[in-house]
Structure 1
Amino acid sequence: MFDWTKSCSYDAQQKRRFHSAARSRLKKLAAELGLPPGSFDIRSNRAGIAVSGEVTLHHTAVYIQVGQFGMASGHGILIRTCKGRKDYTGGANHFVALAMLDDIPALAAAVRAITGIGRDTVHSPDRHAA
């Protein structure tokens, strides 16, 4: 298992591993949610040397961002609704633990509970207007 709590600050190798692992988990999350290919993208922003940066899954109706921005609280996954892939502000912010990246079915359940999207739901951005 990946150590999500090991700081990426001033550690280029750890940051590379963090981004690689987060991208891989977000791809698995998209599959678990049943998101159609082409309805989302996954991107990385490595940011500066003192921070982890973030890895983002941006779907037409949900925005999920992984970073070490909530380490004091144990949270590091931001989940919110959005209205298309040009919406970068979206609905209300919800946070869950970085460790959920090691349990994709549980993370998918949290995403479904927060946003209403996922397997067996409609993938329309209009359905999730804030």
Structure 2
Amino acid sequence: MFDWNRSCSYDEQQKRRFHTTARSWLKKLAAELALPPGSYIVRSNKAGVAISGEVTLHHDGVYIQFGQFGLSSGHGILIRTCKGRKDYIGGPNHFVALTMLDDIPALAAAVRAITGVGRDAALSADRRAA
């Protein structure tokens, strides 16, 4: 399991692992939400040496960004609605714990509860099998 709380500050190797792992997890989150291919992008901004930077999933209706900006509060995932992928302001900010990345189904449920975006992937698979 990845240690999301281990600082990326002045640690290029940790920052590289943070961004690589985060991008992978966000793609898993998109699959769990059953977001259609092409309806979102995953991008990362490594920023300067003193901070983690951020990794973002930007969908047509939701903006999810995480970094180590909320470690003191235990939060590190920003979730908000948006109106397309050119909307960088979006709706109200909601924060959840960075460690929710270790439980993608729970994170997907939080995204659905906050934004109404995404389908339960298990239900979608059951419907396709029926």
CA offsets, 1:58-103, max 9 Å, x none?
Answer: 0000000010000001100000000000000100000000100000
CA distance, structure 2, for counterparts of residue 20 and residue 3 of structure 1? 13
Mark the runs of 5 or more structure 2 residues left unpaired by the alignment: 121-130
CA distance, structure 2, for counterparts of residue 25 and residue 103 of structure 1? 10
**C-alpha RMSD of the superposition:** 0.6
CA distance, structure 2, for counterparts of residue 77 and residue 71 of structure 1? 10
Question: 2:57 is matched with which residue?
Answer: 57
Identity value in percent = 82
Q: Which runs of 4+ in 1 moved over 2 A?
A: none
Mark the runs of 5 or more structure 1 residues left unpaired by the alignment: 121-130
Give the TM-score normalised by the residue count of structure 1: 0.91
CA distance, structure 2, for counterparts of residue 114 and residue 59 of structure 1? 14
CA distance, structure 1, for counterparts of residue 115 and residue 92 of structure 2? 10
Alignment of structure 1 residues 27-38 onto 2, 5 Å = 27-38=27-38
Give, as a single letter, the amino acid of the residue that structure 2 aligns with 1:27: K
Question: 1:87 is matched with which residue?
Answer: 87
CA distance, structure 1, for counterparts of residue 64 and residue 86 of structure 2? 14
**Max Rg structure:** 2
Give, as a single letter, the amino acid of the residue that structure 2 aligns with 1:5: N
Give the TM-score normalised by the residue count of structure 2: 0.91
Give, as a single letter, the amino acid of the residue that structure 2 aligns with 1:19: H
Question: 1:2 is matched with which residue?
Answer: 2
